[in-house]
Amino acid sequence: MNAWVRLEFDDPRVEPARAVLAREESAGVRYRIPADFSPYDAVMADEILELQERVLGAFRTLVPPGERLAVIDPEDHHPPLLFDPHVPFEKGASREALWGYKLYVEPAWTVGLLPDGDSWCFVGPDFTWEARYLVTRPSELVIRGSRLLSTIDLESLRLLKRFEREES
């Protein structure tokens, strides 16, 4: 079984996720990412890996086995994906592949949790992890949904301390 499944733009399996994205969710946190931040900075690789491991653990806690998250480009530049967080895609992958940002290496994370030139939203039935790449202003992470927020200890993640936090 593959953790990542590519879909067509009009695949009906992503419609419930689009409805979740369209809803206003009161419980949310926004992190503004500094303009000089780069997910390609090897100095921060350990912090990026820590964030990815923690979020993956939260996804595994919140998504029942056999179900998948929809992963959507909110601007529809890229076709959506389905992601099964329970498939151990990270086993056997090199540190560079898990980090996902070493040039010419196919990352274990087909779509990363940090903005890298594209915006992506990981959407569960009642939560979203949105990695927004914004050309006209600083990029951001938006985490919505009280269950996701209560599952991840955001305050302890070293990488997030580099970003400006705003309550949504």
**Sequence ranges of the domains in the chain:** 16-163
Q: In whole angstroms, give the CA distance from residue 79 to residue 31.
A: 25
Q: For 9, which DSSP code?
A: T
Res 168: pLDDT: 63
Q: In whole angstroms, give the CA distance from residue 75 to residue 62.
A: 26
One digit per residue, the tens of pLDDT, for the chain of length 168 reads 689 999 999 999 999 999 888 886 667 999 999 988 888 788 888 999 999 999 999 999 999 999 999 999 998 899 999 999 999 888 878 887 787 665 556 678 888 899 988 999 999 988 999 999 998 889 999 999 999 999 999 999 999 999 999 876
Q: Which residues are CB-contacts of 87 (< 8 A; sequence separation ≥ 6)?
A: 1, 2, 3
Query: Which two structure tokens, joined as six digits, stand for 64?
Result: 């029942």
Res 103: pLDDT: 56
pTM of the model: 0.91
CB-based contact 118:77 (threshold 8 Å): yes
Res 139: pLDDT: 94
Res 41: pLDDT: 80
